[in-house]
Amino acid sequence: MQQESLENKDVSLLDILDAVLDKGVVIRGDLTISIADIDLVYLDLRILLASVEKVKESGARVYPS
């Protein structure tokens, strides 16, 4: 595999977005809002960022809006 030097290489936001959409990325996090050590709200956050073509290639169902 050929390695590319990233030294002094300008990378635009569009290049980064293109790479992320081509591969896909999953972001997961938990958020708890509490007062006086009493949990009031708990959120389980999951975000999938990928192109529709990549999601279809993976075999996942795509629901129409």
How does pLDDT run across 39-51, given as a tens digit for each residue? 999 999 988 888 8
Q: Would you state the pLDDT for residue 61?
A: 74
pLDDT in tens for each of the 65 residues of the chain? 556 665 667 888 888 888 888 888 888 999 999 999 999 999 999 888 888 788 778 777 767 76
Average pLDDT of the chain, as a whole number: 82
Looking at this protein, which amino acid is placed at residue 31? L
Q: Could you give the dihedral angle defined by the CA atoms of residues 41, 44, 31 and 46, in that order, rounded to the nearest 10 degrees?
A: -140
C-alpha–C-alpha distance, residues 50 and 19, integer Å: 10
Element spanning 45, H or E: strand 38-49
- Confirm whether pTM is higher than 0.75: no
Looking at this protein, which amino acid is placed at residue 56? K
